[in-house]
Amino acid sequence: MKKTQVINSDISRVISQMGHFDTLSIGDAGMPVPRETEKIDLAVSKGIPSFLQVLDNVLTELEVQRVYLAEEIKTQNPTQLKAIKERFPKTELVFIPHAEMKQDLRKCHAFIRTGEMTPYSNIILESGVTF
């Protein structure tokens, strides 16, 4: 059995297959996911698991060099934005229109769906290198 924090086999597989500049997305229960993007559905019930719980878990294994967020999070969910910024004090945050983020999901290795029910709780993580 794995000793690391990420024990979900699909999430672990996706992270292990990622290279430099590859992307992985985590989002709320309402984010539309393109059919060609793998969806790892963790949603159990409203709020379970939360966006931040899943993000924290993924960050134990994924080296992140850049983060993409919807521009709308600034006004529609400033509490979530603050929590995200706390997790990435030295990482570049790029804000894009939500419509563009939905299109960018087509390029992601996978989208991890959470039970989060707050607006614009979606993120695209760009993989860095550990050397």
- Flag whether 120 is marked binding: yes
Spell out the domains of the chain, with CATH numbers in brackets: 9-127 (3.40.1650.10)
What does the alpha-carbon distance between residue 70 and residue 48 come to, in Å, rounded to a whole number? 22
- Mean pLDDT value across residues 14-36: 97
Residue 26: the pLDDT is 98
Q: What is the mean pLDDT of the chain?
A: 97
pLDDT at 29 over 90: yes
User: Does residue 112 sit in helix, strand or coil?
Assistant: strand
pLDDT tens per residue across span 76-89: 999 999 999 999 99
What does the alpha-carbon distance between residue 130 and residue 92 come to, in Å, rounded to a whole number? 16
pLDDT at 1 over 80: no
- Flag whether 8 is marked binding: no
Residues known to be catalytic = 20
Residue 2: the pLDDT is 72
Helix axes 51-59, 9-17, angle to 10 degrees: 50
Residue 118: the pLDDT is 98
- How does 73-103 read in b/e, with b if 16+ C-beta sit within 10 Å? beeebeebbeebeeebeeeeeeeeebeebbe
pLDDT tens per residue across span 30-62: 999 999 999 999 999 999 999 999 999 999 999
| Whether the predicted model's global pTM rises above the 0.85 cut | yes
Residue 4: the pLDDT is 86
Residue 87: the pLDDT is 98
Residues facing residue 92 across a β-bridge: 66
Residue 79: the pLDDT is 98
- Flag whether 77 is marked binding: no
